[in-house]
Every structure is written in structure tokens, then in C-alpha cells.
A and B are shown apart, each in its own frame.
Chain A
Amino acid sequence: MSRLILLLGITLLIASITPVVLFLIYKIRDVGLRVIFYIAILSLVSDLVIGLLASLFDVGFAALRVYTIIEFLLLVRYFKIIIEHQRTKRLYDSTALIFVIISMIDFFITKGHSFDSIPVGIQGLVVIVSCIYYLFFSIQKHENSLVHSSPHFWVVIALLIYFSGTFFLFALSQQYLKDSSFSSTYRLLNMIFSILKNVLLAVAIIVAKNNTLPPPVMRNATD
């Protein structure tokens, strides 16, 4: 089991670095993907730092709560960019404010000594609903081209699969994370879904790069 965790850990590290590196190499200009780039960096940093903070200073959970709030704000920013409906954009501003307030209240109630299941659960629900909303409206928008030719489709799939897969995991973590078998399951499932998420984010960046390339005839003419 520990070998599996180690292998998954290394895979997760490589998977986490891949979208960041690809974004920097391809110099993607898309504003929405830039926000995803920041989320990917935040996730990478938190995986390294929060573990360290947890083992050294016992402030891992507090740092995790801060990470959750920042991640949610970035996700809201991303959805505001990709969703075109004005009223929905305004709804996200109030959602972000309510989320921050709930996170603060949860922090004061739990004193920051446990997993933030409630804020993460709310985050998961908001992201899942936003993803479904985006998917349904993108099939109406992309009437003449395949929906999966857009990089944002792949980002939304990544977020949908990650937050769907980890919804129950995070919901139960506040109460059961201290249990050793649950903790192993938590690490295993979290790593698997994080790897999936990062692979799909890397696919999104490759699709974005391919969309900006000139058609093959033009490319040959300049060779």
C-alpha cells in the first residue's frame, strides 16, 4: 500500500507540474486558462507546503482553509470569464461573498483544528452546478463545431470529475480523517482524482495551443 501511495505521489507531482510547464512553454494568452494556471500553481504549492506545515507547526488545517478560500475565489473568477450570461456573472459575486462568510464562521466554530468539510462541500456543489450549466449552454453555442474542440470544455470536465469524485470524500473528512484507514483512503482517492484533474488540464492547454496554430497549408508555406 505504501509503495502504491509513493508511486501515486510521484505521479501526482509530475501531473501537477505538467499543466504549469505546458502553459509556460506554449505561452497561452487565454484569460480563462491563465486563471487555471494560477489554480494549478496554487494546488502545487499547497500540496508541498501544507503537508510541511501540518508536520512542523500543526497549522495544516488552517492553511488548508485559506487555500480553499483562495481556490474558490479563483474558480469563481474562471467561471465568470467563461460563462457569458450577465446575470449569472453577477450571481457569482454574491456567491463568493457568502462563501467567504461561511468559511469564516466555520473557522471560528471549529477553531481551525479540523478539515473544512462544509466550505469544501459548498465549493464542490457550486463548481459541479457551474460545470453542468456551462456544458449545457456550450452545446447551444457550439452549433457548428464540436464542443470538445474548446479548451474550456476540458477544464470544465477536469473540475467536474475532480469535485464529483471527491465530494463524499471531503464531506466525511471532518469527522473521520483522524481514523487511519479513512486517512489512507483519503490520500489514495485524493491523489487519483488530482492526477486525473491535472491530466485533463494539460489536455486543455494542448487543445488551446492547437487552436492557435495556423492550418497546415499555411505552416508548410512558411517552412
Chain B
Amino acid sequence: MFSRRPDWQRKNGALPVMITLDGMPVEAFEGDSVAAAILCVEPSYTRLTPVRGSRRAPYCMMGICFECLMEIDGVPNRQACMVQVHDGMAVRRQLHEPSFAIEEDKNHAHD
């Protein structure tokens, strides 16, 4: 969804970091929020809704809308817009597939 402006600089630099989204490597920069990093991936959705299974993505980017709830480093329901990336961070989309069958890894994406 976006590229970095050539004029933009952070005071403390912006080292590249590598995170994973559902196991897939994604490049980001130190200081980015996880939500911003996800917006650079296609398709850029953060979760599926629990009721209808619709794709959602960040709406407000400031902690109000809760659309960016993701599992980050094993902890679910974290607001991705409020968490800064670090090298090696593991991010997973929450799919909330309702099911009565107990299957392995049911809550994670399969691709």
C-alpha cells in the first residue's frame, strides 16, 4: 500500500527488520508498527471476523477501531497498530473459524 518517501528520516535511523506473517517473511523497518508492516503485504488483511468470516484491515491506525487485532509472538488479541516490529517477530492472523471439530492448528492460516 505504500513505499517510503526518499526525504523521510528517523533520528535514530531505521534499520530493516524481518518479521513473519503466518510464517511468510515480511520486510519492515525498526520503528514501524506491525499494522503498518502488514499494510505493505498483499492481501493486506489482519483478521477474519468471528461472525461472518469477513476480511478486515486497519481502519484508524491509532488504537480505537480494534480491526488490527493479531496474534503477536504467541500472544493473541494485540492491537498491531500499537506494537512496534522487532527482528524475528512472529505475527499471525486470527481467523476465528467456528468449529466443533478439534483439529490441529485450526486457528492459523494454511497457505
**A and B associate:** no
